[in-house]
Structure 1
Amino acid sequence: MTEITTTTTTTTISNDLQQNLSSEIIVNLSSDTNETTLSTTGTTNSMLDSTIVDEPPTKKCKLTTNDKPRLLEDRLSSILSCCICLDLSTLPIFQCVNGHLMCASCFNHLLADCKLKDEQTTCPNCRCEISKSNCTRNLAVEKTISELPIQCDYCLQIFLRSEIKIHQSQNCPDRPTICDYSLLGCNWNGPFHTLSSHLAICEYPTKTGLELIETIRAQKRGCDDEKKYLETVVDLLSLNQIGVSGMINLNNRIRTQADYFEIT
């Protein structure tokens, strides 16, 4: 009887231990599952946040463009400009056999430069041979340029290119001018519309001859020096053909191009 009671007690204790162990295991498993779920959720949220931050916008922003159309004179300026200096010139306009435009200044400079180097002159755009005989003036382009508008450098008003020269030299109220008594030594200069107010207070008309004699002598010496300088320049320019012939003869006597440029 005693053995049966002992066995029953032992069985009851073992059952209780098994239940306690099972409940602890279940609690531990549930806590581990919760931690794993939380960590997974946090990782997923961080990935979503990073994805949201790094993701480019679904639609590009609209670029603001200037839809204002270009004026006709602006479009013509780029078409009729010289292919060398890229400027609209009031000088005669020449064209090569393929129609590329060059102003007279650039055209003559190109011919002279190639002549000094004893090279064939070519068009800067198409490389065709050009000379004074095969290049012609383009009167249509010259007349078109003369009718294009241009801004005055002094009064900032708009005039035709054919009228701007006379306006700036004779009619513009803001054109620069000097005093009427500049030959007597007055150094004043300013806009034309202020000339009358200056003449009212200018002191040179009231000076005596003795006061003006030194100023006139100094100006005469300056004019003589300038005259001598200009005469020297004219003499040098009159030797143009002789200078070119000398350069050509010198080039024929020189063997290599490197020696040619070293000597010149």
Structure 2
Amino acid sequence: MADSVKCVTDALLRKNILHCAICKNLLLSTPVMLVENVGNLCSTCYNENFLESKCVQNTALEELVTTLSYPCRFRENGCNHWSCSADLLDHEENCKFRSKRCPMHAITLCTWEGFPVEFVGHFLNCHGEHVINFENSLFFLDITFDDEALIKLLVMKNIILLLKMQLSLGKNKLLYIVCNVKDDDNSNFDYSVKHKGNSDNYIKTRSRVVDSNYAYKNLEECDAVSVDLVSLRQTVKVTNRITNIFKIKTYDTPVHYIGERMLQYFECPVCKSFMKPPIFQCQSGHSICNTCKPRLEKCPTCRAAFGMTRNYSLEGLTAGVSYPCAYHDFGCMLSLSPIDISRHEAVCPYKPYNCPMPQCTMSGTQDVIINHLHDFHADYVLQDASNEARFSDAKHQGYTDTFRLSDTHHSLASYNHILDRRILIEFDHIFRLTCKRMNEYCMWAAEVIGVQSELKLNFVYEVSIIDLRRPEKRLIRTDYCLNEMPEDDLFKKCIMFPNSILSAYSHNGMVSFQFKIKKGIKV
């Protein structure tokens, strides 16, 4: 636009010729009514109060208004945008120089209002407890049904995003969006979310990071991702907590597998995992994976019945496809044939596992579980070895404890249920130590929590019974640490001492023991 035309427009604006006489806004909506002794009114301000007044539609001014281009009304804040009347309202609604209220207002009643460029600094200073710093494009977020809505600022290196999540229990929906917080950031990141409950199953959703305008809108007004809570409860056994595993995929993230476009045809419509043989199909021909089929009576796409019909054509194509590891969202880069990837996934070092404490449904990688143990089960964590001590057996002293040996005053029913669990973090691994005391025996067992590589270190645990009167007198037993297993199986393979022997090491009915983890040999 020529500078002379801008000057004419500015002159008309200064004289208020182009503004409504009542609301002072530009006369961008029609009809424009010229009312005697009042002036030109927009279509909003012209109402029944002026029906008895002398008025006429100002068609000449309407034509002039639609012909001109106008500056953004946030020009004083630094915006240099000019556009015609048809586009100006859209621009002003999303103008980065428009002051906006903090999105946390709906949750914490925050009264801050400012420009989007100032928002990140405000959030970090005033809402630091709602900031998630994460690496490797992956982070975990647990929500409960008591959390109706939450907002988190996601920070990863030079990427800053805003997550808005809301449970709509009335509509049985979990809604969320991830958006940019910078107006000048045009990056369109993809992301996926795995929603987990109390089972190994999960529901996976995918979407794109939306622009910064959605950070200031209500989720009900946005095209948010929607997850059906009924399906979520049935599929992943959700009770009161949902674990959401977010994976942000940037354009500089390498593609870890071949045939990415082809893989979309192997995506299960229910769990969103890639189907591997056997692949089943409904009577109408819609395919479903072998894991989801037993849980469904009808096809989720067309509601047709399932039989035992296999999709052999699709199964045949899998031989030419490289499948990403199921744990690629956690950082695994491998892609292999269907048979080889299944073998790898059984021992993948990125495979998440459950919290070792009973009744806890938290799951995650080793670092996530360690942080979780310190945050929520600190009373049961015995030791977190320092970096200096991790490679020296001499510095790994385990822990020492005492207990009262069984006597005639304990009933068999009550004493059989004395169970003591502790967590020991040693040699960069998590160990669950369990001691069970019975009327006739005392038993100790150690389990290695999590998945180790195929060429792994074996660990042994040592139980020393110490005579409190003569500490140099000890009864020592050693055995290999076990993989994680149910309690009934655990005590079939444990270290066991008869109480008749332990009594020889007791003092005033008290027995002292030392529990230690040692490195074994490579196999």
TM-score by length of 1: 0.39
TM-score by length of 2: 0.23
Which of these two proteins has the greater Rg computed from alpha carbons? Answer: 1
Higher share in helix: 1
Higher share in strand: 2
